[in-house]
Structure 1
């Protein structure tokens, strides 16, 4: 064995060559799995299924490196099912037929099959439908793994026959346990200061497999003294944050940004904005979404908010990255601190609903133009009161269809500029009542 900070004298070598650390540390029982106790604990879904010998088809939904494959393999071992693993990326319909046929033979001989399908969301609708008869007759017990939201990516028929279990990113405590287990396997302590050790956990970003790969690299270094954080970050690249610009992570982060703005928290809003920028999001998309927030959540409480967003968006187009991103960041802070109102948003939805219900009901004739004598004979424009000629520039006439009750759609809030608009609404209501409108 090497000294504390030297390279190990020998590497673990299998029958075909060296074995990666992640493979050597693969748990042999479910009890050895680090993390996911909300799924594996005695009172958790999988713990309850195993205790009652009633394992059902499952969909594991979670980020990479949290144990989806390992848990599936151990489930097969602990239930005496034959384990078959395929990837939706490399498996076609002919391959699936062979898998199902082999499973039928095993079933005829008294053994069940746990079919683990990695990246199951990559299968199209027809391929997913192909699992259904084999799930229903017991030929296979399906365990699918996906990093994407099953609600969007999997058929309703598959979801109705499987229980979705959400696997979570490993916590810092989980990752710390994993490092300790790795050091025991290596027979040495990593040559890191406490701060650098904490930085190593941050680099893994909740991914156990990524952490073990980092640990294996650090464990091979020959150094004279423990490395500090700066030395570590010079030698190692941080794992890229999980982010798919068309996937679930994308929508989760934009939702977090939107709700932080709506909740008037500029610091949280800036954090989620920065997370998306760091992950490679297109700033133009953020400019568009910020403008939507201005019209949906701030509205007429601060009419300037929309202009701030459009100006920030235009500034980015002129400056590009990274300078132009600061203009968008300013818009984020402005929106978060602006007075909030969704009164127009609510009014618009209510007006759309009323429009659907009333169908093609025509406007009242007195507000229709009469460019021809025939239309004039039909009463178009008759009795129209020109508001500029009325007292206070307000006639109080009815502009809704005949037979439709007057409806209040817009109800301004007592915040920001809408305070003034509320006074105007009340003023015209008063005049309308006075003039019998």
Structure 2
């Protein structure tokens, strides 16, 4: 564990010649960092801190391979602080105590410590709390790095003492700049056609470290003619998309799918469905969300939406993957193109609230069952009007508790089948009004 906590306050020397390409291309100054100008530029939060010569505790949140560790190291150099790196994967409370003790000793000598905690979200709540007194008294300036949403993974107390800075996945321009630097450093042109070069950039999925590892693999192979996209694909693998089924990527994509369906965009909905299923999401989870959507956002505007989603679930159970996934696609497209209404959802919320507010009000006696003589004697079922005996099959009777006015929970829209429901309800309302006036 000693190497894990070795101080690295001095600017690291030039990497050795046989070091990995990503290490040899590691930026030497914050100005060399690619793709994060919104933070490291003169107007960015980090740029302003460096210009002022004062660094506050920060949390760097971003995808893998976007420069979090590099930025932390360069920050220490830029403000003349001692750099102390640890990893939450390999460290415990005992290791943290050693780090804080060493930082206190250096503080007595006038040396400030930047404590860099990689994957800080892996520390539990108690371990995160152990940082607080040392951050508050200035023993360390904390720079944490995480790929997970800090709102979910970090203590509120810790977040209140640190500024969260968001790093972007590297775009095509930033990745292209990394390729240019790799070619300049090695003095070798990548053996790729222009189309294959574009495919290589796309395969990195915004991860600069992954891209440079791919480049290093290409340089290590004796390639005669430049590779086209098919040749590149046969030689190298794509980076797997960042998607943790129990973390933020999961919730971001299901939210995007749901809102694309609600917005009646079948193309976008199909894209997010594909993103989830190709990344390994459980098809039955997606089907559950589609079933929910059919009731929440379509409802009686198209009652067949719910039938389609349940049929897709049955088809997937019957066929399995990959054949059954076509049924999921069909349900997704049906929901996206169906008329939309949340009237049933709104009615449910209103009715549930009314039920909680009104407590145990008794229904009117005329609609109560009277299985015993005593119940009949006290009026249960008296004057009940059997709807099928009326000419319209509608009695217009009152079904609400005496202490409660009728409530308009459900307000159908004029879209799809629900428009017919609205006409029917309006007709019944007219009959009620006529009979109450009679």
Which interval holds the TM-score relative to the shorter structure?
A: over 0.9
2:411 equivalent to 1:411: yes
For structure 1, list consecutive stretches of 5 or more residues without a partner in the other structure. Answer: 1-13
Aligned partner of 1:356 in structure 2 is 356
- Paired with 1:147 and 1:355, the residues of 2 have a C-alpha distance of 44
Question: Can you list the C-alpha shifts for 1:96-115, whole angstroms capped at 9, x where unaligned?
Answer: 11111111111222122111
SS at the partner of 2:436? coil
Taking only aligned residues, the RMSD between alpha carbons, in angstroms, comes to 1.8
**What is the TM-score normalised by the length of structure 1?**
0.93
Unpaired runs of at least 5, structure 2: 1-13
Which string of whole-angstrom CA distances, capped at 9 and with x for unpartnered residues, describes residues 206-260 of structure 1? Answer: 0000000001111222222211111111110111111111111111111111111
Structure 2 length-normalised TM? 0.93
Asked if 1:45 corresponds to 2:15, the answer is no
CA distance in structure 2 between the partners assigned to 1:164 and 1:372 by the alignment: 69
Give the CA deviation at 1:391. Answer: 4.3
For 1:360 and 1:155, the matched residues in 2 are separated by 42
CA distance in 1, matches of 2:361, 2:30: 67
Structure 1 residue 366, shift from structure 2 partner: 2.8
Q: Deviation per CA, 1:1-39, whole angstroms, max 9, x where unpaired?
A: xxxxxxxxxxxxx89882000001111110000011122
Q: By how many angstroms is 1:363 displaced?
A: 2.3
SS at match of 1:89: coil
Q: Distance in 1 between matches of 2:335 and 2:131?
A: 48
Looking at structure 2, the residues matched to 53 and 429 of structure 1 have their Cα atoms a distance apart, in angstroms, of 73
Which whole-Å CA distance do the structure 2 matches of 1:105 and 1:138 have between them?
13
| Residue matched to 1:422 | 422
Partner of 2:117: 117
Partner residue in 1 for 2:206 = 206
Paired with 1:394 and 1:55, the residues of 2 have a C-alpha distance of 75
Q: For this pair of structures, how many residues does the alignment match?
A: 425
Within 5 Å, which residues of 2 pair with 1:25-424? 25-424=25-424
Deviation digits for residues 261-287 of structure 1 (CA, Å, limit 9, x no counterpart): 111111111111111121111111111
The answer to whether the 8 Å contact 2:15/2:23 transfers is: no
Deviation digits for residues 105-162 of structure 1, max 9, x if unmatched? 1122212211111111111111111111111111111111111111111111111111
Q: Displacement, 1:300? A: 0.8
Take 2:245 and 2:126, find their aligned partners in 1: how far apart are those partners? 26
